[in-house]
């Protein structure tokens, strides 16, 4: 699931962490009713099922799947903007989106 679209969802989740706090973002990303509540407050309207599913899917990826494969997601701020990256949790080395995708595929077997 690593790629531009999933990175956009992970960035969205990270912005929520910064706005409402890690605990609230984690609850919303793993509980559909909490997600609906948080997204309603943010968007100003009742979110669609697809928006809730995308948000909770990003939460599952960030808080469950990625730790299982030993990878973390982070955005690095540069003078020219922010860069989305994946890092090996144990070594701190950067890993490619392809590595993440392949590791998730192996996990799902």
The 10s digit of each residue's pLDDT in 83-104 is 889 999 999 999 999 999 899 8
Give the domain extent around 70. 4-107
Residue 22: predicted pLDDT? 86
Residue 92: predicted pLDDT? 93
Percentage of the chain exceeding pLDDT 70: 95
Q: What is the DSSP letter of 63?
A: I
Residue 5: predicted pLDDT? 52
Residue 71: predicted pLDDT? 95
User: Which residues of the chain register pLDDT less than 50?
Assistant: 1, 3
59-63: which pairs have CB atoms within 8 A and are 24 or more residues apart? 59/13, 59/25, 59/26, 59/28, 59/29, 59/30, 59/35, 60/29, 60/30, 61/1, 61/6, 61/9, 61/10, 62/10, 62/13, 62/29, 63/26, 63/29, 63/30
Number of domains composing the chain: 1
């Amino acid at each position: 699931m690593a790629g531009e679209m999933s990175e956009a969802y992970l960035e969205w989740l990270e912005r929520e962490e910064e706005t409402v706090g890690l605990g609230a973002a984690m609850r919303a990303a793993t509980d559909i009713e909490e997600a609906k509540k948080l997204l309603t407050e943010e968007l100003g309207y009742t979110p669609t099922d697809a928006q809730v599913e995308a948000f909770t899917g990003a939460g599952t990826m960030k808080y469950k799947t990625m730790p299982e494969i030993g990878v973390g997601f982070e955005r690095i701020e540069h003078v020219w903007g922010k860069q989305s990256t994946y890092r090996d949790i144990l070594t701190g080395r950067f890993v490619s989106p392809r590595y993440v995708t392949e590791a998730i595929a192996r996990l799902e077997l």
